[in-house]
Structure 1
């Protein structure tokens, strides 16, 4: 049976599969046009956004510690102990570590007191929250929720997160605005500090920044003036009642330091922060930035098209 014998000696070779990488990339070769199509779609979406977006302008101001306050003589931290009346009187040394006013100025830009000063300016609030001001009715009105606001409220409701009720612009809302929209950048090479703020109105961006800096400086001045006045009153009364020579000397030195501080707060010059460069805006809007957005759209669009092509190809193989 030669036929059977011949078949018994036949060999079967396994099928040769192409390398793994070409097999994985085969869907990209078959649907390569998905990548430029994805880039084109995202570029079109970005162009629509750029066409409809309202540009924002960034104002920047550079400040540094005011020379007068930097030369402020430190208050004696142990004054109450020197006069033998106990630290509970809280006289002198009320500033932790005798920090200069400039430090409190920077930390106090978004404090409730600064926001309250600014909120007293109705024109500022109406410009800042113009979309909530009804000029015809002469009153504030709640803005429309819109698609994004409605979706957010629905999501918060499903998650059990309380949705805050709308309230007219006030000092609390202004404080939040300053905290999130006023940026402070400290230089590592010099005492200069850059403060910036962005707004749709380039002129208002600069005016608001100047108002915030002036309000913060005035608030630091007010707090230090009140503290100096209280300490001067206390020290003057103690000096009139004390006969011991060493105690009187300590009181006189402390009183001189407080009076010098009071004179600095009364001067008509900047107290905590001196302006090095006034608030100015650039020639072009700071947002949106067309070139980075378009480049990102091309990159993300290509990646998205490639991912869809791979997913479609691998799924058809399954």
Structure 2
């Protein structure tokens, strides 16, 4: 049968190609070994050059409303009034944004970064290579690579930054922070890498506290504005039913303002406080060195294949 003949020839050709590849690998085993060894040596050299870092990890979740460890509901639970308020607000229901979602989105960025940029001690933790403790001022980082970067910027008519601002703080935290989902629930694992163990612990805790404080201040500002508005409208209303409705609304807003001031986590509960291993865990030599050896082996095998094909073509 013609089809069976084609299949048999393709199998024979595939077997011949595999044998050719195997013979090429056996003949060039020294090249393969040198590639794998070279990859591992390069990885080891990189591990000596790259400073090791500690990974600080904390786990957060939405602020609990029920349970012994919860802070309770900040907003009065009145189903009828909540339904009426939802009907009065434009947009579909899936546009609702919780304080916890805001917490995760603003963690170390935007207005939180502006708040952090005003803390001089935190800036020194975040940019230790740019702080000159002897002279008490910010400086350009020393070293070959930072010097090369400044040279390239100078050739392009630009200059490197010296004193950090909010944008630099947000960029540095974005490069260091990783937020992952814990299983399939609402909890999130927040990880931050830093060369100094104690500094990393303090830095992550202060970023989390600044984010929570920003959301608390924003909620207090909105609550105060609503209370002032209701009081102003209440002063000009004479109808008894309207005054009673406004008085109930004012009482609700005042309870909300009181609960915002409670000294408990506002937007996110620290399910697990920041923790860090005693020894640096990044980069991991047990993963980097074998992977580099495998990459070197594959590169050597590719070079052998190219050389064999070049010889056959010649």
TM-score (norm 2): 0.79
- Partners of 2:202 and 2:263 lie apart in 1 by 21
- State how far apart, in whole Å, the 2-side matches of 1:184 and 1:142 are: 30
Q: Deviations over 1:165-222 (max 9, x none)?
A: 4241122211122233222223354442222211111111111111011001110110
Judge conservation of contact 1:228–1:262 (CA < 8 Å) in 2.
yes
| Local SS of the residue matching 1:127 | helix
- Measure how far apart 1:50 and its partner are: 2.1
For residue 133 of structure 2, the aligned residue among 132, 135, 143 is 135
User: Contact 2:131–2:139 at 8 Å: present in 1 too?
Assistant: yes
1:186 partnered with 2:189:
no
**Structure 1 residues 96, 170: CA separation in 2 closer, same or farther (over 3 Å shift)?**
farther
Distance 1:20 1:266 in 2: 75
Distance 2:95 2:299 in 1: 56
Which structure 2 residues correspond to residues 58-69 of structure 1 after superposition, within 5 A? 58-66=55-63, 67=65, 68=71
> Would the aligned equivalents of 2:112 and 2:214 in 1 still touch at CA under 8 Å?
yes
How far residue 132 of structure 1 moved from its aligned partner, in angstroms, is: 1.2
8 Å CA contact retained: 1:69, 1:100: no
Task: Choose which of 48, 57, 61 in structure 2 pairs with 1:51.
Answer: 48
Contact 1:69-1:272 at 8 Å conserved across structures:
no
The correspondence of residues 142-221 of structure 1 with structure 2, limited to 5 A, is 142-144=140-142, 146-147=144-145, 150=148, 165-221=160-216
Aligned to 2:108: 110
In the alignment, structure 1 residue 27 sits paired with structure 2 residue 6: no
Note the C-alpha offset of 1:273. Answer: 1.8
Aligned residues: 289
Q: Does 1:281 align with 2:271?
A: no
Equivalent in the alignment of 1:73: 76
Gaps of 5+ in 2: 1-12, 66-70
Superposed CA deviations along residues 76-126 of structure 1, whole A, max 9, x for unmatched, are 6877x99xxxx9xxxxx9x99564322222222133321122222212212
1:268 corresponds to: 263
Q: Deviations over 1:273-293 (max 9, x none)?
A: 222211010244231111111
CA distance in 1, matches of 2:261, 2:116: 21
For structure 1, the 5+ residue unaligned runs are 1-16, 88-92
**Could you state the TM-score of these two structures normalised by the residue count of structure 1?**
0.78
Give every structure 1 segment of 4 or more consecutive aligned residues whose post-TM-superposition deviation is greater than 6 Å.
none
1:249 corresponds to which of 208, 227, 244 = 244
Q: Which has the larger radius of gyration?
A: 1
SS at match of 1:33: helix
| Structure 2 counterpart of 1:233, from 218, 223, 228 | 228
